[in-house]
Amino acid sequence: MQAMKVRRAGRAVLAACAAAAMTAALAQTSAVDEIAKYRAALQDGNPAELWEARGEDLWKAPRGPKNVSFVTCDLGQGPGVVKGTYAQLPRYFADADRVMDLETRLVYCMVTQQGYTQPDAMKGPFGGPGNKSDIEALVAYVTSQSRGVKMNVPLAHPKEKEAFALGEKMFVYRGGTHDFSCATCHAEDGKRIRLQDLPNLMTVAGAQKAYTTWPAYRVSQGELRTFQWRLNDCFRQQRFPELIFTSDASIALTMYLARNANGAAFDAPAIKR
Amino acid sequence: MRKHFLLWGCAGVIAVAMVGCATAQSDVDVSRQAAAVLKSSFKANGQAGLDRLDQDETQRLCTQYANKALPKDVAEMIEKLNTASIKWPADGKWLGDWKNGERIAQEGRGKQFSDDPKGPVGGNCYACHQLTPQEVSYGTIGPSLYQFAKLRGYTDETRKYAYGKIWNADAYSACSNMPRFGHSQILTEQQIKDLVALLTDPDSPVNK
Amino acid sequence: MNSRRRNFLQTGGGMTLLTMLAATGWLTPRDAAAADGWNAAAFDTKSMDDTMKALGGGTPVPSKAITFVQTPDIAENGAVVPVGITSTIPNTQSIAILIEKNPNMLAAVFDIPAGTDPSISTRVKMGQSSNIVALVKADGKYYYAAKEVKVTLGGCGG
Amino acid sequence: MADPMRIRATVAGDSTEVKVLMSHEMETGQRKDAQGKTIPAWFIQSVTATYNGKTVMSAQWGPAVAKNPFLAFKFKGGAKGEKVQITWTDNRGDKRTDEAVIS
């Protein structure tokens, strides 16, 4: 009851609040403009290129106990085809009877063709100082070969439909100490966290802008980060436990977001804060 | 003849009901399956155990009604449930130290699996709100709180509202985006008082 | 002390910049570091006192002929701050980047041989909001320009 | 061994623009690891660019240059098909030289 009264009182001063916010907004405009300049200055010379080059070498080199390269790996368009494949992932793979994103497919090829054990293939999905991730480099290379290609993720197979539907539900799942879901930050237009723009991933435009600019070189970390990393780190900040690399939930969410991005030209590896 | 007609009519009604049921059922099924797949897709890390995926009543209802209009009765139920959870200060004092409040508002760490469990836990208010005009790096998920008490008055009523809202935002607005800082034991009572001071102390830069 | 240093910079007083210049230890590479000619002493100055001890070189004067290009007023992240410096002072020999509030002030020195444009672009780290000083040596004399760059906090996890 | 640099050299009019990305940690020596131990400094100290055997740029760097460093500069001259060579040396004595054909 008391609370309700306070709420009403709060509304009465709303207009005054808006006026105050406008004064503060003036200073804000210049801050946002300057951040835009900062981002523009970084575009020329993206260290992601270093990962792409390393990834290309890794893709072509014989590897693993069986000493074979990825040239026999089928990313969906036939063995060894790289160009344009990322724009059509995740997708259902009959040989594995599973919907797979790029990272999951790379691990699959490492195990089935190159002879790695599953745990070895899953090792080091995310690099850090002094330990470079082969997966991140491979992803950088493969994704770079879809630059400019229109996103065209299929939703034909029942398992593709299922993954999409599950991803859609997971997106709004609230949990953890802070009650956060993906939608807490990514379901409204024009919002920011600190000075970082938050894409509204529930709209086509928002999903397109966000999904087509991952992977990205993160200047805050000095690393190239993949979409698997993006999801893992969002959940970390949501105060959830740790999302398992290539888990079903990670693929379902990727499917949901990638499919929503259909029609937009893929434009990564990018560079971000 | 007449009997037949009735029979068919009934069957029709039942069929429609079943179709309706089937869609509703499948939506619930997908939600259930999504929750189950989520739970098998995470591993405990540091202070973040798998129990963090278990939803309380508020989280469950807010997930269920995400993307839909929240029915009035459900909203009222959630607000009532959460209002009851607010622990008002035993000493009746609202104001802590606004300078500490500013530090808590800036601090983004706490409760993440990557955080030291003994390390600082903040409110990270600037992630979503504008507060002091000096900090240009603020988010806009929540409303601007600049001049919070200057506009509302430096009254007990304003302070009680700020305290209660920080303790449990869902008591005021069901399925709020704002964490329930007191209820979920993210911040201590003293930290919340420090934040109330940041918002409602006349000396706080928020009110300049 | 920090604020004093800042005041000197803002008023263009010679004192601080003189010590900064000394900090660069530009004149003679005197340390046998891993890389040939790398001046360990120059890159190790942490405080005013250290730099006071190493006085040397001329007093730099402010110059409008030194400009910052592609250097934003606000950096979204201090780990990577783009800095571009162009000098139109005739016979520019070197361009140095100093970051006032970093633990070590000197970030980089670029020697500009004849035939190379007196203009460089790179990226530096900044621990916090600070003045960036562009120090130019031309015809044996020293000139400078300063620009404040604000470093913001970002993201959700701090 | 360190990864190769990415070097782009393009001639326009009478000068050549060179843009370089280097793969390096550029560890400051001021950061601590999870156990609280200081991570030792590890950074590029010198960079030299040559064209036709002539030095067109040389630099001394401290650890305040950003990780995976970027450098851009311009020199007079240069012709398509000729090479620009860049060498860096870090504080551990590691060295790397790469070259790029001017386009």
Token reading at C80 = 């990577």
Q: Over range B179-194, report the average pLDDT.
A: 98
Closest listed residue to residue C154, CA positions, set B99, B106, A212: B106
Strands D83-90 and D95-101: antiparallel
Q: Over range A132-156, report the average pLDDT.
A: 97
Per-residue pLDDT, A28: 63
What is the four-CA torsion angle of C22, C23, C24, C27, rounded to 10 degrees? Answer: 30
Strands C92-99 and C74-75: unpaired
Contacting C with CB below 8 Å, chain D residues are 15, 26, 28, 30, 45-46, 54-67, 69-77, 89-93
CB atoms under 10 Å from CB of A66, counted, come to: 12
A50, D23: Cβ pair inside 8 Å?
yes
Query: Which 8-state DSSP code applies to residue C112?
Result: -
Per-residue pLDDT, C156: 57
Per-residue pLDDT, C9: 39
Say if residues D77 and D15 touch (Cβ distance below 8 Å). yes
Query: Which 8-state DSSP code applies to residue D25?
Result: -
Scanning every residue of chain C, which has its alpha carbon at the shortest distance from the alpha carbon of D71?
Answer: C122
What ipTM, to 2 d.p.?
0.83
Q: Over range B48-70, report the average pLDDT.
A: 96
* Residue C35: band (very low, low, confident or very high) from pLDDT cuts 50, 70, 90: low
C158, B109: Cβ pair inside 8 Å?
yes
- In Å, what is the CA distance from B168 to each residue of A4, A104, A181, D74? 14, 40, 17, 59
* Residue B47: band (very low, low, confident or very high) from pLDDT cuts 50, 70, 90: very high
Type and span of the H or E element at B59: helix B57-64
- Between residues C153 and D102, which one has the greater pLDDT? D102
User: How many CB pairs lie under 8 A apart between chains B and C?
Assistant: 24
- Using CB atoms, which residue from C150, C152, C156 is nearest to B108? C156
- In Å, what is the CA distance from C5 to each residue of C8, C17, C47? 5, 9, 10
Token reading at A66 = 């069986």
Looking at this protein, which amino acid is placed at residue C10?
Answer: Q
- Between residues B192 and A7, which one has the greater pLDDT? B192
* Residue D35: band (very low, low, confident or very high) from pLDDT cuts 50, 70, 90: confident
Give the chains touching B; criterion: ≥3 Cβ pairs < 8 Å: A, C
Write down the residue that tokens 């340390």 correspond to.
C31
| pLDDT tens digits along A111-130 | 999 999 999 999 999 998 77
Per-residue pLDDT, C30: 36
C154, B122: Cβ pair inside 8 Å?
no
Q: Which residues from D are below 8 Å from A45, CB to CB? A: 19, 21, 70, 72
Give the chains touching D; criterion: ≥3 Cβ pairs < 8 Å: A, C
Interface contact A219, partner C, CB < 8 A = yes
Residue A11: exposed, middle, or buried by beta-carbon count in 10 A (0-12, 13-18, 19+)?
exposed
Token reading at A90 = 């995740």
Q: Where are the beta strands (DSSP E) in chain B?
A: 42-43
Say if residues A170 and B38 touch (Cβ distance below 8 Å). yes
Say if residues C125 and A222 touch (Cβ distance below 8 Å). no
A241, B42: Cβ pair inside 8 Å?
yes
Chain B interface mutation, best of C73, C152, C156, highest count of B Cβ atoms under 10 Å: C156
Residue A27: exposed, middle, or buried by beta-carbon count in 10 A (0-12, 13-18, 19+)?
exposed
How far apart are alpha carbons C142 and C150 in whole angstroms? 26
Q: Is A234 a catalytic residue?
A: yes
Long-range contacts of A9-12 (CB under 8 A, 24+ apart): A9/B152, A9/B157, A9/B158, A9/B161, A10/B152, A10/B161
Looking at this protein, which amino acid is placed at residue B73?
Answer: D
Cis bond before residue A62 (omega within 30° of 0): no
Q: Which residues from A are below 8 Å from C73, CB to CB? A: 30, 34, 37
- Using CB atoms, which residue from D60, D77, D91 is nearest to C39? D60
Per-residue pLDDT, B91: 94
Scanning every residue of chain A, which has its alpha carbon at the shortest distance from the alpha carbon of D72?
Answer: A45
Kindly tell me the number of DSSP H helices and DSSP E strands found in chain A: 11, 8
Write down the residue that tokens 């551990």 correspond to.
D92
Chain A interface mutation, best of C81, C149, C152, C153, highest count of A Cβ atoms under 10 Å: C152
D62, C104: Cβ pair inside 8 Å?
yes
C76, A237: Cβ pair inside 8 Å?
no
Interface contact A219, partner D, CB < 8 A = yes
Scanning every residue of chain C, which has its alpha carbon at the shortest distance from the alpha carbon of B110?
Answer: C157
Q: What is the DSSP string of A167-196?
A: HHHHTT--BTTTTB-HHHHHSSTTEEETTE
Mean pLDDT of chain A: 91
A35, C76: Cβ pair inside 8 Å?
yes
What is the sign of the dihedral through the CA atoms of A197, C125, C122 and A50? negative
How far apart are alpha carbons B198 and A79 in whole angstroms? 61
Per-residue pLDDT, C140: 82
A193, C156: Cβ pair inside 8 Å?
yes
What is the sign of the dihedral through the CA atoms of D49, D55, D60 and D65? negative
Q: Which residues from A are below 8 Å from B126, CB to CB? A: 194
Closest listed residue to residue B114, CA positions, set A231, C17, C157: C157
Long-range contacts of C38-42 (CB under 8 A, 24+ apart): C38/D45, C38/D46, C38/D60, C38/D91, C39/D60, C42/C106, C42/C109, C42/D60
- A187: Cα separation from own chain's centroid: 16
- Any residues with CB less than 8 A from the CB of B20 and at least 6 apart, and which? none
Instruction: Decide if pLDDT at A55 tops 80.
Output: yes
Per-residue pLDDT, A27: 60
Strands A216-218 and A223-225: antiparallel
Interface contact C79, partner A, CB < 8 A = yes
Per-residue pLDDT, C36: 64
For residue D35, the distance in angstroms to the closest alpha carbon of chain C comes to 20
Q: Over range B108-124, report the average pLDDT.
A: 95
**Angle subtended at Cα D21 by Cα D15 and Cα D24, rounded to the nearest 5 degrees:** 145
Q: What is the DSSP string of D37-96?
A: PBPPPB-EEEEEEEETTEEEEEEEE-TTBPSS-EEEEEEE---TT-EEEEEEEETTS-EE
Say if residues C95 and D59 touch (Cβ distance below 8 Å). no
First to last CA, chain C: 28
* Residue A35: band (very low, low, confident or very high) from pLDDT cuts 50, 70, 90: confident
For residue A260, the distance in angstroms to the closest alpha carbon of chain D comes to 33
HEC string of A203-217 equals CHHHHHHHHCCCCEE
Long-range contacts of B122-127 (CB under 8 A, 24+ apart): B122/C158, B123/B166, B123/B181, B123/B186, B123/B187, B123/B191, B123/B195, B124/C156, B124/C158, B125/B195, B126/A194, B126/C153, B127/A193, B127/A194, B127/C155, B127/C156
Per-residue pLDDT, C58: 65
CB atoms under 10 Å from CB of A160, counted, come to: 18
Closest listed residue to residue A147, CA positions, set A76, A222, A215: A215
Per-residue pLDDT, B16: 42
* Residue A30: band (very low, low, confident or very high) from pLDDT cuts 50, 70, 90: confident
- B108: Cα separation from own chain's centroid: 17
D67, A222: Cβ pair inside 8 Å?
yes
| pLDDT tens digits along C89-106 | 999 999 999 998 998 888
Closest listed residue to residue A145, CA positions, set A86, A67, A101: A86
Instruction: Decide if pLDDT at B167 tops 80.
Output: yes
Instruction: Decide if pLDDT at C152 tops 60.
Output: yes
Say if residues B183 and B82 touch (Cβ distance below 8 Å). yes
C110, D73: Cβ pair inside 8 Å?
yes
Per-residue pLDDT, A167: 98
Instruction: Decide if pLDDT at C75 tops 70.
Output: yes
CB atoms under 10 Å from CB of B98, counted, come to: 24
% residues pLDDT > 90 (chain A): 82
Per-residue pLDDT, A81: 97
Chain A interface mutation, best of B43, B52, B172, highest count of A Cβ atoms under 10 Å: B52
Instruction: Decide if pLDDT at C56 tops 70.
Output: no
Write down the residue that tokens 């044996």 correspond to.
C140
% residues pLDDT > 90 (chain C): 46
Radius of gyration of chain C (CA): 15
Closest listed residue to residue D2, CA positions, set D103, D65, D89: D89
Per-residue pLDDT, C113: 96
pTM for this structure?
0.86
Q: Which residues from C are below 8 Å from A31, CB to CB? A: 74, 152
